Chain A
């Protein structure tokens, strides 16, 4: 089972490397959205510090959603998804591998970039650290929930818009606890509760999302 997981992760990372432009587009979107706000609202540091958690998290959420179209659609179009569904390995494991690879190329770079981008908002170092941890816990949840939406809308006309309608409401708790953790740090309130809730959401998503996604993919293939 682990061999199949490794095989899929290797394959998808290799494909992402061959299609570097797609990955960079998501990153560029993230950087641009975050960089536009200070230009739009002005250089008031207090205002920027207040807005930073929400902006950074919403940008991460939208960038993560942008990448969902690449999760299953290319495999569906070229028939490799059928081959995966008929492999001896459980589809749930294959889905887990695909989501992990997806997060590594579209989620983790956002996490790594966020401390640098947070400098534009004059965030103090402890807040930047909390932002980093909250994104580290939250972005995998975005990928896992997004995978369910991507699978449900596979092959559907206008699926790109539909996936947003489906998954954005499900992203709300992650956004609230993620941005809330940074806000709580800035306000001097404990951040443990927020981060624990994000960790809980991650654990629940790891347990349930691959299974739900695999079921949705089987329906889409029919």
Chain B
């Protein structure tokens, strides 16, 4: 279970955001992408999960190009971007249920309730996401991480932002547990919060080009 990227580059509006990026994230490993605003962290995450195409370079999951082995890669992937991916008009449980069913697993209100409880949102089970606060919406989005089976690779864009102290702790514990179980995490955060992974890599995109061993 390895995510590898070689010679990645991203150009936006004629400006090179980053170039010559090599990285490798194996089982039980985490990669923390850091850098100033606009350095291309979110763009790199979108490339790593296959939503965006790089100007140069390749991304492979278990040795297979993620664009060619899309189905296998998506079965192992969980991505949470800037937008929470929730429908305001649907109750929290229904949003989670749809995600689970689109991942090819059986959904249901019970499983969604357990996931929401992990982030202290039992009371929001039947509430439309539109009436929840920004932080609560983020917690609903992240509650999908607590569903089983959990994908092997988690790609998270600012997962700790807008969360309260308890939710940060819950998410931190969940990510540690995921890494202990042999999963992988790629994430960005501006918070001074490091995962005590077996191997934690840090990639600073403020530099023009970077590489990891």
Contacts and interface: CB of A to CB of B under 8 A. Distances in A.
A87 B81 contact: no
Contact of B79 (A77, A80, A86): A86
Interface residues of A, number: 26
A74 B90 CA distance: 13
Contacts of B102: 4, 7-8, 83-84, 87-89, 94
A85 B49 CA distance: 10
A11 B98 contact: yes
Nearest to A77: B83
A14 B90 CA distance: 8
Interface string A6-39: 0110010011001100000000000000000000
Nearest to A18: B89
A43 B81 CA distance: 59
A79 B71 CA distance: 20
Contacts, number: 75
B101 interface: yes
A86 B87 contact: no
A78 interface: yes
A88 B84 contact: no
Interface residues of B, number: 28
Nearest to A14: B90
B165 to A, nearest CB: 25
A18 B81 CA distance: 26
A7 B83 contact: no
Contact of A88 (B71, B81, B88): B71
A222 B51 contact: yes
B49 to A, nearest CB: 6
A221 interface: yes
13 contacts: A4-B101, A7-B101, A14-B90, A74-B87, A80-B85, A80-B87, A82-B51, A82-B79, A86-B79, A88-B71, A90-B71, A222-B51, A222-B53
B137 to A, nearest CB: 10
A14 B102 CA distance: 16
Given A4-B102, A87-B102, A79 B74 contact: no
Which 7 A-B pairs give the minimum distances between C-beta atoms? Answer: A79-B83, A79-B85, A18-B89, A87-B102, A7-B101, A83-B85, A88-B104
A84 B74 CA distance: 10
Interface string B55-82: 0000000000000000100110101011
A78 B88 contact: yes
Contacts of A77: 83
A78 B84 CA distance: 7
B98 to A, nearest CB: 5
B131 to A, nearest CB: 13
B209 interface: no
B53 A15 contact: no
Contacts of B104: 3-4, 87-89
Interface in B87-102: 87-90, 94, 98-99, 101-102
A157 to B, nearest CB: 15
A86 B94 CA distance: 18
A119 B74 CA distance: 53
B26 interface: no
B86 interface: yes
